[in-house]
Structure 1
């Protein structure tokens, strides 16, 4: 995910909201009720197609939050090589993401699809982590991170703030 800081993310036009799902359900149920009196098999087919559409449009739970309730920073940090990545960067990023999301993260979590973070959210999190670890933010920079691990490596590569 390449994000130019200061630019708004594109709006997802095809994102199906709750109102669209309710509308589709009402249309399918109405058509099914009208057609059931004359052609029961056709109405059942329409209802099945409506059910498939409902399932296809419903968001999938990407992360089981309850399974992660015992995860902690120590287990998270063990998945990084401390000779390559600064421990303060790992800790600050983990704490900031946990504060932002409300549940523990894993290094393999995808920022966009699993954690449902927008480009603006990722930019804000990066700025807060940079402030905590005293790293310098260049004038123009791109965040090319797709996972939490890539985000930590990206933050670690930024230069330290000069005193």
Structure 2
């Protein structure tokens, strides 16, 4: 199964960004200092929140000790559900989690409560990554019976299982 291929920013994009920051520093130093102060507060708040999230996932790992993708795959009928979808969902979810720990995922996991993912993570990144890896198209997703019901990992797998094969969009 192919890995998800990320696109890297070009050197020109990086140069434009750095030039904009430098111009802001030169022409609006007070605004820049205010922005830097807000950024510092956001970093401190993020660090405190990340500790809470890491503790949550550590408890999850301790409760799921010994579980792997094998147990996850057994939660689906592999005669009906494409095993590439099972694997892609499992691997991409692990990569998307807001922790560095490898958390064993279960089909019943809720994206928002258990896995601490927000709707934007699901809509913007994860869906595209899984579509690319599985070769499933996102065309005609409106007719998918799982549309609007993807709040658990199981429903995400079943959503993709109902999508047609083809070029991922």
**TM-score band (shorter)?**
0.5 to 0.7
TM-score by length of structure 2 reads 0.55
Confirm or deny that 1:148 pairs with 2:153. Answer: yes
Match of 1:116 in 2: 116
Q: Which has the higher contact order (CA 8 A, sep 6+)?
A: 1
Q: Structure 1 stretches of 5 or more lacking a match?
A: 1-17, 20-57
For the pair 1:75 / 2:71, whether they are aligned, the reply is yes
Question: Displacement, 1:126?
Answer: 1.5
Superposed counterparts of 1:1-163, under 5 Å: 61=56, 64-101=60-97, 102-123=102-123, 124-138=125-139, 141=142, 142-161=147-166
Following TM superposition, by how much is the alpha carbon of 1:70 offset from its aligned partner in structure 2, in angstroms? 2.3
Using the TM superposition, give the Cα deviation of residue 65 of structure 1 relative to its aligned residue in structure 2, in angstroms: 2.0
Tell me the C-alpha RMSD between the 2 structures.
Answer: 2.8
Residues 63-122 of structure 1 deviation map (CA, whole Å, 9 limit, x = unaligned): 622232421111110110012110100011011111222412100001111111111111
> When the two structures are superposed, what TM-score results if normalisation uses the length of structure 1?
0.57
Which 4+ runs in 1 deviate beyond 6 A? none
What is the aligned residue count?
Answer: 108
Note the alpha carbon deviations across 1:107-161, whole angstroms, 9 max, x for none: 0001111111111111211110110010111276455311100110001111111
By percentage of residues, which structure has more helix?
2
Q: How far apart are the structure 2 equivalents of 1:75 and 1:162?
A: 30
Judged with a 3 Å threshold, the aligned counterparts in structure 2 of structure 1 residues 75 and 140 are, in CA distance, closer, same or farther, namely closer
The equivalent of 2:16 in structure 1 is none
Max Rg structure: 1
